[in-house]
Amino acid sequence: MSHDNSKEYRLQTSFAIKNVRDKSVFYRMYNAFRRFLSEDKRIKHICTRDNVNDRRITISFDIDSDSFKNANLTSGRIILEALKKATVNTGDLSEIERIKRIDNASELDAETGKIVSDQSTALSLV
């Protein structure tokens, strides 16, 4: 994605997964989530941590983008896509395609809020 005017941003976020009580279900979802992130070529330097007791995931990664706004939206879409793919109820790939077209933060936040709670996020230039 390296354009002449692109900059590298670092996203750090932490969130709890809603409606997952069983530890084995959490670990299956977490491992699938990590795999989907690692396969995404738009991001690099991915670091993930889990806290099974709180059903919490903490991640960070770098992303190249031409603006803060685009880095924020693309990062959010990447996380939401990986979460949707990692949950058991996502056999519908049209849902993933719809997420890829979200272009405003409010809609993205609303969709993410269906899966996670207690989210904190920081995005900064590297």
The domain that contains 88 carries what CATH number?
A: 3.30.70
The tens digit of pLDDT for each residue in 12-45 reads 999 999 888 899 999 999 999 999 999 999 999 9
For residue 46, being part of any structural domain is answered with yes
Does residue 25 lie within any of the structural domains? yes
In a domain, 90, yes or no: yes
Total domains in the chain come to: 1
Show the domain range for 96. 8-125
Question: Is residue 1 one of the residues assigned to a domain?
Answer: no
pTM, full prediction: 0.85
Long-range contacts of 104-113 (CB under 8 A, 24+ apart): 104/73, 105/72, 105/73, 105/76, 108/73, 108/76, 108/77, 108/80, 109/76, 111/80, 112/76, 112/79, 112/80, 112/83
**Residue 3 lies inside a defined structural domain of this protein:** no
Q: Across residues 95-115, what is the average pLDDT?
A: 84
Q: Within the chain, what is the greatest distance between any pair of CA atoms? A: 47
